[in-house]
Each structure stands twice: as C-alpha cells, then as structure tokens.
C-alpha cells in the first residue's frame, strides 16, 4: 500500500485545486491593460481572446485568531453555539470585523497541528501554485472598473499555465496568461456588483480534483463561498470557505497513509460541524483558505 506523509493529507484538505495537460497561449499585453476601459468582449490577439482575470498566487490555511475569533464565512446561514444540534455542538466564530456565525473548524485546530503538518503543507501548496498546477482563477466578463461596477459576470474555475513566471519575491508575476483546464467545473455568477473593490460568489456544491506529489485526489465540497478585495497596489486579497467531506478525507487517509490515518480519522469527526446525518453526527468539516491574487488573462 502506498504511504504519503501526513502533510500531504492535510494539504489535500486545504489545497482544493487541480492541474492540466495542454500548453497555454502567450499574451503580449501588459499587466495594467487587464483592467483598463471596458473588457466586455476581451482583447483579441492572434486567434484567441484574452479576458481580464485574477489568479490566486498564494494560498494559506486560515487559522483562528483566538478561541472566539476567526476569518471566514457563515457557511450554514446560522449562528451556532455549543448546544446547536445542526452544527453538532460546534460553536461558531466571529470574524475580525465583527460578523457572527463564522464556520472555520479546521482553523480552530490548525495551530495544534501546525508543528506536525503546517510547514510542509505551506511548502507543498506554494510549490504547486508556482508550478502552475494549483490555479484558482476568477475571469471577468463585462468589467469596466474593478472598484465599482454594478453588472459583472464572474467565472471561477481552475486554470492552467505550464510554467508561470516567478518573481524575485518567490510568487507569480502579474499579467500572465492562463487557460481554462479542460473539463474543469465552472462557477458562474451573473449580474454581480463590485462595491469598493469587493467581489463575492458562491456555490452549493463543487467538485475538485487535487494533485499533490503526483497523487490524484477527488473531493466534493459544499457551501463554498469565495470573496476577494481589490487593493490599491492592484493585487487582490480574500478567502475561500467550504465544507469538506469527513468520509472522503478519511478514505484518502486509509488509502494513501495507513499509519497517519490513526491520527486523521478520529480528528475529523470531532471537528465536523456541517450536514448532520441520521445519527446526528456531522458529515462535513468547515475550512477556510486565505488567498492572495494578482491580475492575469484568460485565453479562449
């Protein structure tokens, strides 16, 4: 039986991404052109069209700030306390800016497992992003102004670039071209309003393919929330929150990390807080990723 390090399994819980196999097109446009003027129909080059987009170039597990404060989203539309059966007795957090009902149970235990898995996980994720295998992309259709625009269509999907250019700071440079990974599921949000540089989209369910250290995984997530905030320097910061299946992560552990599964399998049910089953035990764990993005192009 194959055995993967424990860090790979935590990365599978946290990374939630994909890779592809086709060559990307090369755009001959500056990074600044991505958000200049109307981008309703994109910018033509060669036989393709390049639309403005954001590619996530940094991904970190978002841990809790304290026992009561954590970043993230209200994934189940309820404010739960220790007696709430719908959340299996898991008390919700409050966000740093005062929003209640935040679901981030993986973040609640992240500090306790960080010495065991956190540093390797961060390294695995960073390598996958810089290799172009881990690319969350938000494509804009009809964007006139990244600060305020009352009618934009957003497409969230997993993109592909064979080998992104990495800057001297160790992260992807802006203005690069990505393609849509063939077969990748797409979340589309129409008539979205961007207000003060903030965008948001969500999906009840989403199917994710993962590839870490050449091992392929498939995970279904629920209650996905994705939000980004535009910054003065042209970058985007935000979070992705979702519920991850206890059963699917446990099966990955049993298959690829037999010894480590004795740690992982008991941990997940103890922090599960979404979708209680017939036995009143929750079947999904809430998790939040911190995201940092940069302008890019999507070639179609």
Q: What is the pLDDT of residue 133?
A: 81
Query: Do 202 and 224 touch, CB atoms closer than 8 A?
Result: yes
**pLDDT computed for residue 113 by the predictor:** 76
| pLDDT recorded at residue 54 | 97
Residue 36 lies in a domain: yes
pLDDT at 263: 72
- State the average pLDDT over residues 239-265: 81
Gap between the Cα atoms of 111 and 122, Å rounded: 13
pLDDT, tens digit (0-9, with 9 covering 90-100), for 150-206 = 999 999 998 989 899 999 999 999 999 999 988 888 999 999 999 999 999 999 999
pLDDT band at 262 (very low <50, low <70, confident <90, very high): confident
Q: Does residue 151 or residue 8 have the better pLDDT?
A: 151
pLDDT in tens, 115-157: 766 566 777 788 889 988 888 999 999 999 999 999 999 999 9
Asked whether residue 47 is assigned to any structural domain, the reply reads: yes
Give domain status of residue 1, yes or no: no
If one counts every other C-beta atom within 10 angstroms of the C-beta of residue 287, the result is: 25
* Top-confidence residue, 259 or 2: 259
76-115 exposure pattern, b = at least 16 Cβ within 10 A, e = fewer:
beeebeeebeebbebbbbbbeeeeebbbbbbbbbbeebee
Q: What is the pLDDT of residues 18-48, one digit of tens each?
A: 333 333 333 333 334 445 444 445 665 566 7
Domain extent at residue 295: 6-299
pLDDT for 2: 41
Residue 231 banded pLDDT, cuts 50, 70, 90 = very high
Residue 79 lies inside a defined structural domain of this protein: yes
At 251 the pLDDT is 84
Does 167 reside within a domain? yes
Q: How confident is the model at residue 255 (pLDDT cuts 50, 70, 90)?
A: confident
- Look at residue 220 and tell me whether its pLDDT is greater than 90: no
Strand partners, 103: 73
Interacting residues of 72 by C-beta distance below 8 A, sequence separation 6+? 62, 93, 95, 102, 103, 104, 107, 239, 241, 286, 288
What does the alpha-carbon distance between residue 133 and residue 274 come to, in Å, rounded to a whole number? 29
Mean pLDDT taken over the chain: 83
Task: Report the domain count for the chain.
Answer: 1
Residue 8 has a pLDDT of 42
Would 204 be classed as within a structural domain? yes
Q: Is residue 37 part of a domain?
A: yes
């Amino acid at each position: 039986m194959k055995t993967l390090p424990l860090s790979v399994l935590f990365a599978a819980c946290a990374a939630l991404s994909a890779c592809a196999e086709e060559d990307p097109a090369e755009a001959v446009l500056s990074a600044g052109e991505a958000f200049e003027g109307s981008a309703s129909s994109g910018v033509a080059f060669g036989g393709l069209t390049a639309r403005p987009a954001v590619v996530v170039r940094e991904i970190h597990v978002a841990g809790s700030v304290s026992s009561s404060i954590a970043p993230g989203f209200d994934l189940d539309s309820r404010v739960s306390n220790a007696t709430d059966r719908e959340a299996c007795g898991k008390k919700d957090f409050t966000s740093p800016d005062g929003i209640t009902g935040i679901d981030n149970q993986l973040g609640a235990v992240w500090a306790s497992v960080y010495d065991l898995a956190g540093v390797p996980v961060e390294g695995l994720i960073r390598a996958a992003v810089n290799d172009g295998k881990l690319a969350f992309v938000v494509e804009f259709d009809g964007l006139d102004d990244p600060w305020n625009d009352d009618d934009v269509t957003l497409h969230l999907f997993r993109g592909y670039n064979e080998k992104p250019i990495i800057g001297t700071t160790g992260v992807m440079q802006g203005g690069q071209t990505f393609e849509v990974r063939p077969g990748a599921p797409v979340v589309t949000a129409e008539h979205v309003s961007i207000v003060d540089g903030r965008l948001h989209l969500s999906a009840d369910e989403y199917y994710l393919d993962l590839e870490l250290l050449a091992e392929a995984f498939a995970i279904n997530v629920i209650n996905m929330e994705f939000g980004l905030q535009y910054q003065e320097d042209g970058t985007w910061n935000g979070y992705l929150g979702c519920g991850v299946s206890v059963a699917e992560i446990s099966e990955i552990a049993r298959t690829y990390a037999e010894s480590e599964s004795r740690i992982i399998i008991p941990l997940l049910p103890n922090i599960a807080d979404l979708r209680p089953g017939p036995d009143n035990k929750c079947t999904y764990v809430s998790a939040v990723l911190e995201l940092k993005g940069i302008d890019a192009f999507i070639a179609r």
